[in-house]
Structure 1
Amino acid sequence: MKFNIAKLSHKRLPLFVTTMLVLSLLTAACSSSNSSNSSDSTSGKPTEIRIMADYSIAQPPAPDNPVHLEFEKRTNTKLTVTWVASGDYSDRVNVALSAGDMADLIKIPNITTPLFRQMVKQGAFWDLTPYVENYPNLMAMDAKIWNNTKIDGKSFAVPAGRPMDGGGFVSIRKDWLDKLGLKMPTDMDEMYTVLKAFKDNAPDGKKDTVGYTMRDSRVIEEIFTGTAGKWKERDGKLVNMTLEPEMKDALVYLNKLYNEGLIPEDFPVMKENQYWELATNGRAGVTSETPEALFRYTMDQWKKNPEVEWTPMISLAPKAGGKQYVTQSTGFNGVLAIPKTVSEEKMKAILKFIDYGSGGEGLDLTLYGIEGAHYTVEDGLKMANDKAVADSVGTAAWGKIFSTTVLDLWQYAAGMPREVYQRNMEIAEEKSKISTGDPAIGLVSETDIKLGADYNKKIADMKVQTIIGKTTLEEWDKYVDSLKTDPNYTKITDEINAEYSKRMAQK
């Protein structure tokens, strides 16, 4: 496989071999560079900052993690991090918000988190609007990301910025395609052919293949509906695609996969690790994930068998000749809020801390770690070693906090060979040319806040029941018709469109 690295812009070269260093960097920057912003500047004592954030690896970094210690050393901070597993994080945040026992810097899963928005209106968090303009690395973030995370036109949190393109989508075992003489699928009919061939012909020699893991099965729905999330812009208005024929087409397709054993029979109750066991044990040749996480999860599989080649796909169309679709990211992975219990002086120090980790030498430390210990520079590229993996360097812990919007954030993981990284970058560049985003990012309906959870649960249940055949397509149609005439559900659409109109008028 050959890659033309000359095509890659210099500013997009591997900026995240060790994104996990991010939180340590956070500690560092917070206390930090300018002692005038530190609450203990006169005594020279480290600025103490409590942080609550999520992680998505087996174990979070310990307090004696070398990157953690390096951050504290460089920025004169004392960092106490409460790490919470990503799967439990939303619930833990709600508990913390309800109890009023908040860290000095708390990551909120989404700007639309209802309890957070309610507390913002009650004055529980700093309005950062007058302050963030003084932090150049934060201001370098795309204005669209800032706009999508505002509440009533103000910034009550700093986006944990992410690149808009090159993130999670479908990935496939290219070595299986080659072994079976199949081409890379370009639409969902061709994908069906591939999944069936994977199951029937057992490329790994074992008759236990299901085809697609069903991890983040929403991507299948989105390929059919042609939008990220459930809202799609048509003629200046947002349409709820849950109620459109394209959603039914997606359910028909998934039902076919289910009936033919091309997806796991127990997918509705599977846990995160079970999706990955299917992929790494050779029982599935298709899954969904960001390229860097895909490599982290399958690295051991690849080391045992170098012929294993998981390849991110560029895009897929719902049918032959249809419009190609690939997801565009929201541009942020949650937001970082500072409660008003923190003094203004310390709030500024925390902003300086976040800013430090989001650019320049701070971003280098965030993404790469410590030179000589975690990476070496080869031909201008920072290449990680095994210690970077052992010390949790990457996007799954430290990288959950800082703003890292460079394109290659999701294309590189510690331990990844250069040629795989370069391939990922070329694919990400192609994705960026055609990606489709969610037009409703950050928009809120008050009715949805009050009633949306119940509707969403019922809709999700109906989808699963339709896929596994417990609910007929006729019953799905009747349910959709009931939603179209439900005054509360239609009110959600009206309110979302009202907010969308306001946003568009401000552009």
Structure 2
Amino acid sequence: MKMNKKTAAVAASTLLVSSMLAACGNADKSGAAGGDGGNSGKPTDISIMTMYYTPEPPGPDNVVVKEIEKKTNTKLKITWVSPNNYADKINVTLASGDIPDLILLDDPFSAQVRGMVAQGAFWDLTPMLKDYPNLMQYPKESWDNTKQADGKNYGIPRARPTDGGGFPYLRKDWLDKLNLPIPTTTDELYTVLKAFVEKDPDGNGKNDTIGYAGFVDQNGMSYLGQLQNSFTKVNGDWKLVDGKLVNVNVLPEVKDALVWLNRAYKEKLIPEDVAVLKNTQAKDLLKGNRAGGFQDTAEAAWEPTEELRKTDPKADFIPLVSLNGYSNKDSGFFGMYAIPKSVPEAKVKQLLKFMDYGATQEGYDLASFGLKDVHYTEKDGIKTPTEQAKKDIVAQQALGQIFLKYDQYLRAYRTGMPNDVLERNKKIIDEKAKISVGDPSLGLNSDTNVKVGTELRKKIQDMKTKVIMGKEPISAWDDYVTKLKADPDLAKITAELNDAYQKRNAASK
């Protein structure tokens, strides 16, 4: 669903008019999902399967669930599943054929989902969506990137910001102490990290600081990924070169990244245990005043900052806008809510109306923050959760996984963050949005990639890790690239992805 500025303006004015009309009639009727659009008709039964990130999920008698039911004239039956086993639950549920009215597909492009879409198992929502102005406020990328192979939308994206995602952040107070500017290139970053290691930025008189706490894993570049991307200037393993997708690992830019990382490893700018370090261990280095940089979302940079400020009020991690003129653009979604074809068309429209209410400010606030002065207090636009919110399991990590008003600054704010950090994050996100580059292969299917891609990626990463750690010379990477270029599996994956890319472009026109 493409949406230019004019369309967005029309959608916004439509929303304004509909809101005014609803207010003139009955304030409780706006966004209601009931059969007559108000609260006088029989409530619509809605079954939902989704995930939760709170210690326990909300129960059916939860006060906010009851309030949502009241506002939308619905009766909800929510199946909450832990993220730890959500993929397994999805597989079983889809295979059973007993699919809830709204099901969160965490991977809209799994082989199982693709097959079911091709068989007509889910509603094509494309022609209906224009009637739901709040959902239409989701970014164009959220809709485009969740389109299936035929160019149609079979689900409502669980929308996420496209900018402000994982990217390097650095100790701003260390930069200031060492009179260094915020780096804008990987060469400048190298100079900074070297100073972080050699010039005692923490002032303890010991040579015990690490420049950048990034690490790799068996499947890919992991928390060094955005450093590699700053060389290739694309978010992911595939880059458009002369209109065709090329695997970045055969490009010279990846070799440049490996040379940079190998040098950084030799000079101890990155961890010695780069191949086995875990996320929690990396964060411990940051919070322990031992590391000067890491890769994470803009708001996540506040986590180590908050911890350090308990003993050092000047401590400050600042997210970088870009490196080498590159910043990453994310997909704009984290799964999507699909509706099975077993649901009658009339009810599909009720479900869309229900989700459209969830995309309003009122619906989003209710789901994520609960009842004002009960579950949160508000001052200067900042909502602070109360103890009652914890007791009633009111959080963005629970009901906020169903109802979401799109906020381009979702990755700017974290609870407890002072306003000056929030405003700085917003400006950084605005700057990133001007130049960010996404993954052109997102959502494209290659049967060969499904079969052998994981193993191939592991082999590629194994060689990268050996080169970074100096266990293999850079010439070994040159030899490996020669083999990759002749690899029949990679050639087939490349051909299939390019075919899918051309078909999707043609279908979207």
* TM-score of Structure 1 vs Structure 2, range by shorter chain: 0.7 to 0.9
Contact 1:224/1:246 (8 A) holds in 2: yes
- TM-aligned CA deviation for residue 184 of structure 1: 1.2
- Does residue 265 (structure 1) correspond to residue 272 (structure 2)? The answer is yes
**Equivalent in 319, 331, 337 of residue 312 of structure 1:** 319
- TM-aligned CA deviation for residue 425 of structure 1: 0.9
- TM-aligned CA deviation for residue 325 of structure 1: 0.8
- TM-aligned CA deviation for residue 422 of structure 1: 0.8
- Does residue 475 (structure 1) correspond to residue 476 (structure 2)? The answer is yes
Letter in 1 for 2:451: K
Distance 1:328 1:253 in 2: 23
Contact 2:301/2:318 (8 A) holds in 1: no
Distance 1:303 1:65 in 2: 36
Residue 169 of structure 1 aligns with which residue? 167
TM alignment of 1:39-438, pairs within 5 A = 44=43, 47-53=45-51, 55=53, 59=55, 61-63=57-59, 67-68=64-65, 70-75=67-72, 76-85=74-83, 89-90=86-87, 93-94=90-91, 96-98=93-95, 102-151=99-148, 152-204=150-202, 205=204, 207-214=207-214, 216-296=223-303, 298-317=305-324, 324-342=325-343, 344=345, 346-366=347-367, 368-379=369-380, 381-385=381-385, 387=387, 390=390, 396-438=397-439
Distance 2:475 2:47 in 1: 56
Distance 1:373 1:335 in 2: 31
Distance 1:96 1:467 in 2: 43
Give the TM-score normalised by structure 1: 0.81
Counterparts in 2 of 1:408 and 1:251: CA distance versus 1, 3 Å: same
| Count of aligned pairs | 465
- TM-aligned CA deviation for residue 308 of structure 1: 1.7
Counterparts in 2 of 1:84 and 1:111: CA distance versus 1, 3 Å: same
Distance 2:384 2:35 in 1: 35
Mean Cα deviation higher: 394-403 or 356-365:
394-403
Which deviations, in whole Å up to 9, do the C-alpha atoms of 1:115-152 show, x marking residues without a partner?
22122223333332343333221223334432221111
Which deviations, in whole Å up to 9, do the C-alpha atoms of 1:221-264 show, x marking residues without a partner?
10010111122222222222111110111122222222232222
Letter in 2 for 1:203: P
Contact 2:212/2:294 (8 A) holds in 1: yes
TM alignment of 1:491-506, pairs within 5 A = 491-505=492-506, 506=508
State the identity %: 44
Contact 1:221/1:247 (8 A) holds in 2: yes
Q: Secondary structure at the match of 1:149?
A: coil
Distance 1:199 1:300 in 2: 21
Counterparts in 2 of 1:327 and 1:306: CA distance versus 1, 3 Å: same
Letter in 1 for 2:68: F
Q: Secondary structure at the match of 1:469?
A: coil
Residue 35 of structure 2 aligns with which residue? 36
Residue 9 of structure 1 aligns with which residue? none
Letter in 2 for 1:326: S
Q: Secondary structure at the match of 1:283?
A: coil
Q: Secondary structure at the match of 1:118?
A: helix
Distance 1:303 1:500 in 2: 50
Which deviations, in whole Å up to 9, do the C-alpha atoms of 1:442-490 show, x marking residues without a partner?
2222322333222222222222232223333233222222221122311
Q: Secondary structure at the match of 1:409?
A: coil
Q: Secondary structure at the match of 2:500?
A: helix
- Does residue 457 (structure 1) correspond to residue 464 (structure 2)? The answer is no
Distance 2:99 2:304 in 1: 32
Mean Cα deviation higher: 245-254 or 140-149:
140-149
Q: Secondary structure at the match of 2:425?
A: helix
Counterparts in 2 of 1:62 and 1:277: CA distance versus 1, 3 Å: farther
Contact 2:361/2:405 (8 A) holds in 1: no
Q: Secondary structure at the match of 1:450?
A: helix
Letter in 1 for 2:291: A
Letter in 1 for 2:226: V
Residue 3 of structure 2 aligns with which residue? none
| Unaligned stretches of 5+ residues in structure 2 | 1-27, 216-222
- TM-aligned CA deviation for residue 297 of structure 1: 5.9
Contact 1:159/1:403 (8 A) holds in 2: no
- TM-aligned CA deviation for residue 218 of structure 1: 0.8
Q: Secondary structure at the match of 1:458?
A: helix
Contact 1:386/1:414 (8 A) holds in 2: no
Counterparts in 2 of 1:413 and 1:36: CA distance versus 1, 3 Å: same
| Unaligned stretches of 5+ residues in structure 1 | 1-28, 318-323
Give the TM-score normalised by structure 2: 0.81
Contact 1:373/1:387 (8 A) holds in 2: no
Q: Secondary structure at the match of 2:169?
A: strand
Q: Secondary structure at the match of 1:210?
A: coil
Distance 2:312 2:63 in 1: 32
Letter in 2 for 1:415: G
Which deviations, in whole Å up to 9, do the C-alpha atoms of 1:80-129 show, x marking residues without a partner?
342423x6654554455456565543322333222221222233333323
Taking CA–CA contacts closer than 8 Å with sequence separation of 6 or more, which of the two structures ends up with the larger relative contact order?
1
Distance 1:394 1:192 in 2: 40
Distance 2:297 2:386 in 1: 21
Distance 2:175 2:45 in 1: 55
Residue 18 of structure 2 aligns with which residue? none
